[in-house]
Structure 1
């Protein structure tokens, strides 16, 4: 406790000093030897912006800002992590990337020249040698401006109007919805429902929305609306009645399954040297596609509907081998 007390005392002294303190003055302030105060200075320098200046043959040290700023100033690792997300978003065309890019610029602009210089050396190496993995998936580009419009409508409690072009339609049709939420991923979806109906909320792809604008009609979801609960009703994006899912994991894959999340509400049950995974969910087609990666390690026990979908997917998957391979 005495070491901690001396270090905190020295932090206060370095903060309050206008001219700064030499190493000898720092040692006298906390009643320790010069070698000890050098180690204390090195520790303090790791956590605070310790400024130094040369006066004659001595070097003086002081903490430039209030101690609180040391805990709000971003470090190189934090800025590099945000930079990696921005770079990946720009490659993907993610609509959120403009907001993140703007945030990154503001963070850098808030630093003074000394902080930026200190940060740049570390940041250059970290950004060169870090990447957010861009997984295979749909290559779609959605408008950041449209995303901002929808977010503004959510904040002001207004409906959103737009022209929508679904897959099967020959032309776009006008829609007005109450925005119930935004779901981000490889594709950004807007969840909403018509204000004049009692239908369940429906998903709209942001990249298929055109002429997006705030409506004059007020509309916001109920106070008890929970987006996480809605998402947990299905394995993926597509909605359908829920099923009781039971998966049996073979012994060699039990440890892998324990570290895997099939569903937010999954339950794991010991069954000898095997493991059962249970959850209630819709989205059987998306679940079947996911389970291809578990082939040989897992058995579908329930429901029958999931087994039937998997059987059809296996038949269709054989076409990937070409007719000559299938005949064999």
Structure 2
């Protein structure tokens, strides 16, 4: 039986043409979430459609397949949806303060748009505007930090080059300025609200967070920074709720039956376990630090959520509640 899903085959042809080292059967299976037998049928369908498909043999007998440049012809032309997706990404990057990424996405969009037929280009702008508005991107309100493009560019250059940086950084909480701090940059955490650099601190001999808005000077050095072999950004981030790195706690929340359906739609934490209770309520449990940030999130649920553990989270929530009370005039 031949594999017949045209959309998947077009996407596979694009990937086989776009990757210099081609794709293996394992790559096809993982990308399209299919069995090895189905991956073989997909590969065979591509070879039937494009006899010029190249087979690459690797040590150990493993094989990969690729299409020479230009093989897919007009199949490689971008669609309106492709251009709209780039615009959507650029708008989201702009609203999160990442103007550098937004500019790169705009440039890529312009390059792809130049490949479109004239009639398609003519209807492109209203289509994009409608898609952005439907997504809520164009109208999305909310505060964000403005990070200088020079800061983002310099940090990206350091991360890509794999070098240490010397910085002057002002701490957000205390306002104290640390001069000539020696950091090994690992990644940037961009998005709504505060934005941070994840970096190895030579002084602390550990990975720390540094607010991007706090950098007053950044200089690249010639010293190679070797990323810690045991450092995994995803695993490191899973220790926290949001961005705060603290001692990890066993956290348990219970949402009322009225809020359970809504809460079930949320990914509160990658390690979460959701349990439906007999009375219709929902229990959510996970392991993480960042108690204050948990409280900030829980405020939006009001009386619809109860903190079952840990006690320190309940205490922190009570303290923030007391601090937030405003004495109203008579």
In structure 1, how many angstroms separate the alpha carbons of the residues matched to 2:73 and 2:299? 50
Q: 2:201 aligns with which of 178, 190, 194?
A: 194
- Could you tell me which residue of structure 2 aligns to residue 266 of structure 1? 272
Q: 1:73 aligns with which of 63, 72, 77?
A: 77
- Could you tell me which residue of structure 2 aligns to residue 178 of structure 1? 184
- Could you tell me which residue of structure 1 aligns to residue 126 of structure 2? 124
Show structure 1 runs of 5+ residues with no match: 5-64
In structure 2, how many angstroms separate the alpha carbons of the residues matched to 1:90 and 1:117? 29
Q: RMSD of aligned C-alpha atoms?
A: 2.7
In structure 2, how many angstroms separate the alpha carbons of the residues matched to 1:92 and 1:275? 32
Cα deviations by residue, 1:108-155 (Å, 9 ceiling, x for unpaired): 34x1xx625413313333225624153423x32112233222222222
Shift of 1:172: 5.7
- Could you tell me which residue of structure 2 aligns to residue 300 of structure 1? 307
In structure 2, how many angstroms separate the alpha carbons of the residues matched to 1:324 and 1:235? 37
- Could you tell me which residue of structure 1 aligns to residue 27 of structure 2? none
- Could you tell me which residue of structure 2 aligns to residue 94 of structure 1? 98
- Could you tell me which residue of structure 2 aligns to residue 29 of structure 1? none
Change (3 A) 1:296 1:228: same
Structure number with bigger Rg: 1
Is the contact between residue 162 and residue 225 of structure 2 (CA under 8 Å) also seen in structure 1?
Answer: yes
Shift of 1:83: 1.5
- Could you tell me which residue of structure 1 aligns to residue 288 of structure 2? 281
Change (3 A) 1:116 1:280: farther
Is the contact between residue 163 and residue 212 of structure 1 (CA under 8 Å) also seen in structure 2?
Answer: yes
- Could you tell me which residue of structure 2 aligns to residue 32 of structure 1? none
**1:1-328 maps to which residues of 2 (within 5 A)?**
68-90=72-94, 93-95=97-99, 96-109=101-114, 111=115, 115-127=117-129, 130-131=132-133, 132=137, 134-137=140-143, 139-167=144-172, 168-169=174-175, 171=177, 173-186=179-192, 187-195=194-202, 197=203, 199-272=205-278, 273-319=280-326, 322-324=327-329
Change (3 A) 1:161 1:128: farther
- Alignment TM-score, normalising by the size of structure 1: 0.70
Number of equivalences: 257
Change (3 A) 1:166 1:134: farther
Shift of 1:91: 5.1
In structure 2, how many angstroms separate the alpha carbons of the residues matched to 1:69 and 1:123? 25
- Could you tell me which residue of structure 2 aligns to residue 30 of structure 1? none
Show structure 2 runs of 5+ residues with no match: 5-68
Change (3 A) 1:157 1:116: farther
Change (3 A) 1:312 1:265: same
In structure 2, how many angstroms separate the alpha carbons of the residues matched to 1:226 and 1:92? 24
Shift of 1:103: 2.5
Shift of 1:163: 1.9
Is the contact between residue 113 and residue 121 of structure 2 (CA under 8 Å) also seen in structure 1?
Answer: no
In structure 2, how many angstroms separate the alpha carbons of the residues matched to 1:279 and 1:250? 18
